[in-house]
């Protein structure tokens, strides 16, 4: 996901944010009420689960404490503290329980056994890779009892430069993958997101925006194989065993609806030894509206080596725009291209910096000059703010009057942000049914809306979420429709939720069509084959459709 990590306003210290989504917020109040009372109810189930796991004869289960973490363990406490930062939307009818256990499997056989014991005891499973789900669905649940299957120990990365591929454990982060690639080669990269602490499991399976998507497509477009465990504990040794339908579904359709992906095989891409990045800050007074309006018309049509995104924000009461770019080449070619195609931005030589591809990841993450090992930090997301996010896709340029209406609304709250990411290039070459991600040709750019707040207070939360919903309503006439598109990795439970165990395809289509368009029916049919009893389910999981 092209989540805006550690975004800094010009000449100000970085504002830090805590990745707490709306669903995560929605669970807090009843979570506190039920915390004490629930333990006596789940203790027998917890004991039965531990007993089930201990009956396994394989030696890897002899030391269960390294695999199973009970509420008195440190790892469990760390997760509980994360959950305790979350609040509840008064408008949502959720109740929450803490997970009865957290499992941190090291092998596929341990995942297999965890799933079999969960299914036997009717215990729900939440699969966590990096924990960046915008609504917390990888570690929170309105269904009880449940366990968290944390894949943190499945993070091996094997680079094969001869094949130009890599096998990546589903618990690895994007940053860990980038680090391993950079250590192995100066001319290889991978087209994924710019936030190093995001887990590859959710990122790949939801699509995976990144600064090279106009050149190479989404992260999911570059997945060539995978290993998978289904609800019956069957281990699929790659794409051939799972079949093309399931392999299609997990590359953009949200793998957590179908089972547990344990490893991904990705195709590495060639990158030049020298890339160029620039950041241009544009105050409102410097024709900002006209230049943003112009960007809409040209960003998706520029050569596919050039990616320019726009970040709109409120800085000290004044709306500003930041143009941030990645060019797969040198300054000597970038400046003439910009002068020809986008002279309105006024790009100068001194605005640009040449660097290696991996250094461009640091640049986009606002960490230029820091050691490469910074990419290995899995905890970059835990900071001081809370947020609510939404997404849209734009097919036609928003008129200047429409943009001015957005700027006006940005004065109403403290920390609004809008990130506009261009499509075009390779994104247009891939058909809308080739993967579950349908937002291809015909879409100019994606919008990620975000609003942040500092105060741990229900009224503050409701004020900001209400503002976000009003902005989203205002944007309706300017964005895609029938259905209005949304991006799975910017998950938004406002679009709709599965409120019953046996949610129908028709009911789930309310939100499913927004993420997947006509691909949603095929996803549901795949679900009907691989998981007909709907064992893997959450508030926005694909329901089984059996035909």
User: Are the CB atoms for 146 and 123 separated by under 8 Å?
Assistant: yes
Task: Name the nearest CA neighbour of 291 among 280, 305, 301.
Answer: 280
Which residues are annotated as catalytic? 490
Nearest to 149 by CA among 201, 187, 97: 201
Distance from C-alpha of 146 to C-alpha of 418, rounded to nearest angstrom: 35
Report DSSP state, residue 235.
E
Residue 489's nearest CA partner among 130, 207, 138 is 207
Rg (CA), the chain: 23
Peptide bond preceding 487 in cis form (omega within 30 of 0): no
Cα separation, 297 vs 193, in Å, equals: 24
Where helices occur in 60-165 by DSSP H, the ranges are 74-83, 108-120
The whole-angstrom separation of Cα 221 and Cα 457 is 41
Token representation of residue 244:
């093309």
- State the Cα–Cα distance between residues 211 and 419, nearest whole angstrom: 13
Distance CA 249, CA 229 (A): 14
DSSP code at position 43: H
Helix (DSSP H) and strand (DSSP E) numbers for the chain: 17, 18
H-helix or E-strand containing 325?
strand 318-327
CA 307, distance to chain mean position in Å, is 19
Sort 65 into a burial class: Cβ within 10 Å, 0-12 / 13-18 / 19+: exposed
Token duo for residue 491 = 């998950």
CA dist 369 and 336 (Å) reads 27
Residue 37, helix vs strand vs coil:
helix
- Give the residue among 111, 81, 367 at the shortest CA–CA distance from 231: 111
Q: Cβ of 516: how many Cβ atoms within 10 Å? A: 29
DSSP assignments along 371-427, one per residue: -GGGGG-TTTT-SS-EEEEEEEEESSPPPHHHHHHHHHHTTSSSEEEEEEEE--THH
Cα angle for residues 470, 471, 475 (degrees, 5° grid): 115
- Whole-angstrom Cα distance, residue 206 to residue 183? 27
């Amino acid at each position: 996901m092209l989540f805006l990590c550690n975004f800094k306003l010009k000449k100000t210290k970085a504002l830090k944010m805590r990745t707490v989504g709306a669903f995560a917020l929605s669970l807090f109040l009843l979570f506190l009420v039920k915390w004490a009372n629930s333990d006596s109810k789940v203790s027998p189930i917890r004991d039965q689960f531990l007993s089930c796991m201990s009956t396994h004869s394989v030696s890897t289960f002899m030391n269960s404490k390294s695999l199973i973490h009970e509420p008195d363990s440190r790892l469990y406490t760390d997760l509980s503290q994360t959950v305790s930062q979350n609040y509840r939307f008064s408008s949502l009818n959720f109740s929450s329980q803490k997970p009865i256990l957290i499992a941190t499997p090291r092998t596929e056989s341990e995942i297999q056994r965890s799933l079999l014991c969960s299914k036997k005891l009717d215990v729900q499973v939440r699969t966590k890779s990096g924990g960046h789900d915008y609504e917390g669905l990888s570690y929170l649940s309105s269904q009880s009892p449940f366990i968290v299957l944390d894949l943190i120990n499945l993070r091996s990365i094997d680079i094969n430069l001869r094949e130009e591929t890599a096998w990546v454990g589903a618990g690895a982060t994007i940053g860990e993958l980038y680090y391993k690639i950079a250590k192995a080669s100066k001319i290889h990269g991978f087209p994924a997101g710019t936030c190093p602490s995001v887990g590859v499991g959710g990122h790949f399976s939801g699509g995976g925006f990144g600064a090279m998507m106009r050149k190479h497509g989404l992260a999911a477009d570059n997945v060539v194989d995978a290993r998978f465990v289904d609800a019956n504990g069957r281990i699929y040794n790659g794409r051939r065993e799972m079949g093309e339908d399931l392999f299609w579904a997990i590359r953009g359709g949200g793998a957590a609806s179908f089972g547990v992906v344990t490893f991904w095989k990705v195709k590495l891409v060639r990158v030049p030894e020298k890339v160029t990045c620039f950041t241009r800050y544009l105050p409102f007074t410097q024709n900002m509206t006209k230049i943003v309006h112009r960007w809409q018309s040209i960003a998706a049509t520029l050569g596919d080596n050039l990616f320019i995104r726009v970040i709109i924000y409120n800085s000290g009461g004044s709306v500003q725009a930041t143009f941030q770019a990645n060019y797969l080449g040198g300054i000597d070619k970038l400046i003439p291209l910009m002068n020809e195609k986008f002279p309105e931005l006024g790009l100068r030589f001194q605005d640009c910096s040449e660097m290696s591809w991996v250094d461009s990841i640091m640049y986009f993450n606002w960490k230029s000059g820091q050691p490469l090992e910074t990419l290995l930090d899995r905890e970059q997301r835990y900071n001081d703010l809370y947020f609510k996010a939404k997404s849209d896709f734009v097919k036609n340029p928003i008129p200047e009057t429409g943009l001015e209406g957005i700027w006006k609304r940005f004065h109403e709250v403290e920390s609004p942000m809008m990130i506009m990411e261009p499509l075009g290039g390779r994104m247009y070459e891939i058909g809308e049914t080739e993967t579950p991600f349908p937002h291809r040709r015909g879409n100019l750019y994606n919008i990620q809306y975000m609003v942040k707040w500092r105060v741990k207070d229900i009224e503050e939360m409701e004020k900001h979420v209400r503002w976000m919903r009003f902005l989203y309503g205002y944007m309706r006439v300017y964005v895609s429709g029938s259905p209005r598109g949304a991006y799975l990795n910017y998950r938004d439970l406002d679009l709709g939720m599965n409120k019953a165990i046996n949610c129908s395809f028709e009911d789930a289509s309310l939100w499913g069509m927004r993420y997947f368009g006509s691909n949603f029916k095929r996803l549901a049919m795949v679900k009907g084959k691989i998981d007909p009893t709907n064992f893997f389910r959450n508030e926005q999981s694909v329901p089984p459709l059996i035909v």
